[in-house]
A and B are shown apart, each in its own frame.
Chain A
Amino acid sequence: SQTIHQWPATLVQPVGSPLSLECTVEGTSNPNLYWYRQAAGRGLQLLFYSVGIGQISSEVPQNLSASRPQDRQFILSSKKLLLSDSGFYLCAWSQGGGPPDTQYFGPGTRLTVL
């Protein structure tokens, strides 16, 4: 069966510090991968998605970036965090190689920027 991991679970960072969040998927190959952010009491905002290694599509221009160095690894980064980067970051996967399918979410990382 497929599982998706995210770490860390919680993170408190000062403004201007760098960020690296990691997501890995097990039990599937060539998944579509997604990074979302959810502000408190709000819906899901798609940040990046990837359909393959090295292929990243950005949905929201900002100080965040994403990379996919391996088939089942997706990394979200920032060089300098802003207060507005606080939120709940969710990684998700769906079955790749064809039309979009059900997305399954990792446990999330709660980021607080102070």
Chain B
Amino acid sequence: AQKITQTQPGMFVQEKEAVTLDCTYDTSDQSYGLFWYKQPSSGEMIFLIYQGSYDEQNATEGRYSLNFQKARKSANLVISASQLGDSAMYFCAMREFPLNFGNEKLTFGTGTRLTIIP
């Protein structure tokens, strides 16, 4: 079963509008972290925002905020006032508490390609 699901393969949004990128996750752990990464056309992975499973407040970083709904197991990324430079692939990822203090891997979704229209 997929642990991270991003149901929007692609989105087109008008510049200056807000955009929500969906992410749902599946875990039986109580402790986990959720991450969003941006991948521009140049290919690098840019960390955007983090939300911990025990965090009571939704995370915010500048124009990025994470709409965390624990009971629904969703962690949607909200970008306010979108800009042309926001056009990129966006990945949601989860880190679960490592078993036996071992692997700290990130499990990624399949990504959403966001295109901002002028």
Partners in one complex: no
